A and B are shown apart, each in its own frame.
Chain A
């Protein structure tokens, strides 16, 4: 280590924060290590919340990354159920909601994101979101009794909730503002395929409409749509995206712009790093400062900032990563690597939309920028490797021809 680092504080006890802590210890850091999380639970894994926890195949405890005694080797000062309220860069101190504080030599901020809520709608029983383990437990309990669920927002969370509802034979009405769900991310053809897949599983899909009101006084009874129709529902699940948890950093001096802006080392200010959903870290592969809400990004950035703050041999080597996410719906696994934008051209190179089993490549200019697969995991591995080299479109397509697709 360049200078003796003796006190590291990590704010945020989810995936990025935990992986940062693990990396610090595995790289030999033996000083004080404080991990602060605002939820009362030990760090847990989020992807199963909308999958195994909702459909009832996992208990909530199965989402914990480590059991209680699994924290002993990390020698953490683990403070759970405590929110950070402010950061003083000059004093190198984070103030906590329980009246305490933590001083640091190096700070990692991994406070993640929270769900966006419907503007102007008052909360009430049966009006739910899905982000935390507590959210998942409440929703699972509701699904055991529900007859009809309205899902607002057909993003990946909304679609996975729809899938879990249908596996329990609960009726679903799914509502989406866009004419084609997820079209800006996966393109219209795949978006339409997802709609058809859910319709085939009995989901009543309503696109191109917004929710104007929610009715039911003591608990939700349904939603009113912008086309004037009313949809009765026992439960309403809102999945319309997330916002980064940076409120507590207002006025701290950090650059906040839809997340914490940081360089390729993950450094947002001297000795202050950010990682995971809350961070907008310079990403050499992207060529800009994306804020990425994916599982693997949280792992990679948590590890990266831990290595950087300890003065890794490759100190200053910028972060470079091809984003990856996946979604499980019914018997389909959708995997996406890279970054597509609206209007990128898409070419199906194997399988077909009709079969709902395919490999699709996305083109911007003369480059391959992304790959999506449905139930074709081997193809994804191949294109993950190829995408990392920022290949030309011609190279990618020639490769398809060669391998005889």
Chain B
């Protein structure tokens, strides 16, 4: 069955106003280390699910526990209620599992600031409306030190202006243009956007030598 001639709508409308992500304000949680992979963010054994429920329990599951299974002093045990995650280089590398940013989001993360991100991870953040901002290593280090010294102090990420404000000062960060555009325009839920071009999709497909004519 193709969608052609079916009664199912080939385009649909979603209000974008409520989906705009312009700023995230709250408190921080620092997770230090380069190349933190998505197997660490959520081990594969917790992916055996057909829904997104309960993933917050599994965020950094192994890293949050000692050998005897007791919770340790991992930031995800210590900074409950924080919403701005601050990380280092190549965060989210490895597996494409969207369960990783989903688990972080369900734990409470609404924005991430880091030295750099793996591409698929950053794309997944965009799909979820979570800004992933990059900053110079010194900026990240200062922010992590600040959060550790004053865990309750406020931090604000301005997505549009690409700045982070904390401790009475404002520093520059970078947000990938496509991500920033999608967040501030409220078009990060791409289903409606992509489906609005169904005729152009059919046209592109018809020109490809390997797609059967239909």
The answer to whether A and B come from one shared complex is: no
